[in-house]
Amino acid sequence: MAFIPEFRVPPHPGKMLMDEFLRPRSMTEEQLSEAINIPLNQIQRVIAQKQGLSPEMAIRLSHHFAVSPNFWINLQTRWDLYSSQGSSQGVKTKSATSW
């Protein structure tokens, strides 16, 4: 099982996209939009951390930047889990052993 550190906030995929892929290549959001055939507003929303990555976008990013689609999906999953932890506090559930 993968260990997800709880002592730090995982990066949003949009932050990773900007900081580790676009900025080092001096690539604009517009250029990326054209290169992977995803609407510019979707790219901008992901980078602004207002939208997550879809599996389709993960596949297109992986082809363009030569990384695994799992890289992008794992970033999104870690972000989603982290984000959900705050909203699920106080939710009462039954333990599987109580059935």
88 domain-assigned: no
Region of poorest pLDDT, from 36-40, 68-72, 73-77, 95-99: 95-99
| Burial (Cβ within 10 Å: 0-12, 13-18, ≥19) of residue 14 | buried
Range of the domain at 38: 13-81
Tell whether the model's pLDDT for residue 34 goes beyond 80. Answer: yes
Q: How many domains is the chain partitioned into structurally?
A: 1
CATH classification at residue 26 = 1.10.260.40
87 domain-assigned: no
**Cα–Cα distance between 48 and 42 in angstroms, integer?**
10
Which has more confidence, 73 or 8? 73
pTM metric for this prediction: 0.79
49 domain-assigned: yes
Tell whether the model's pLDDT for residue 1 goes beyond 50. Answer: no
96 domain-assigned: no
